[in-house]
Amino acid sequence: MPALRAGEQTNAVTIGSEGRMVDNPQGEQNKGYTWRRVCRVGELADGEGKTVTVGGRLLAVFYVGGQYHAIDDTCPHMGASLSGGYVEDGIVTCPWHAWRFRLCDGVWADNPRIKIGSYPVRIEGEVVQVRMEDAPAAKY
């Protein structure tokens, strides 16, 4: 899934009281998702991945061929971090037992019935953001 460019969606990143960048969604509060900062543009070299924690979830963010991708970081086979895997032709290979997942949609390249989470990515200014679904409200 290609990264969205600034202007295709509206979202601002502001500096919080601690001097850190924080998300500031504009007009998206009731849509069931939030755009979250995961890294800065240029932080990853081509073919490189990075583990980030967003909302308590481990994600692997990759920069490949001029596009950013985000998938779940944990391999469902034995729990290895996919961000440290080898990337080739849009597929990351798990460093422990060579399970292969497509970066564009999280599908296991060798058995499409298995899939890990895949998340939309966009660029806002110099910030790479991932769209995360909001947690459902607790029912009492």
Q: What is the CATH number of the domain that holds 34?
A: 2.102.10.10
Q: Look at residue 68 in the predicted model and tell me its pLDDT.
A: 98
In the chain, what is the greatest distance between 2 CA atoms, to the nearest angstrom? 47
Determine, yes or no, domain membership for 5: no
In DSSP terms, 58 is beta-bridged to: 53
In a domain, 3, yes or no: no
User: What global pTM score does this model have?
Assistant: 0.76
Residues β-bridged to residue 5: none
**Enclosing domain of residue 35:** 11-133
Q: Is residue 81 part of a domain?
A: yes
Domain assignment present for 68: yes
- Domain total of the chain: 1
The predicted structure's pLDDT at residue 138: 62
User: What pLDDT does residue 45 have?
Assistant: 97
Is 85 within a domain? yes
pLDDT along the chain (140 residues), means of 10: 42 34 44 94 97 95 97 97 97 97 98 96 98 77
Within a domain: residue 36?
Answer: yes
Query: Does residue 139 sit within a domain?
Result: no
Which of these, 57, 39, 29, lies nearest to 123 by C-alpha position?
A: 39
CA torsion 125-49-1-109 (nearest 10°) is: 180
The answer to whether residues 23 and 37 touch, using CB atoms and an 8 Å cutoff, is yes
Inside any domain, residue 140: no
Distance CA 102, CA 42 (A): 22
Nearest 5°: CA angle at 132, between 66 and 8? 50
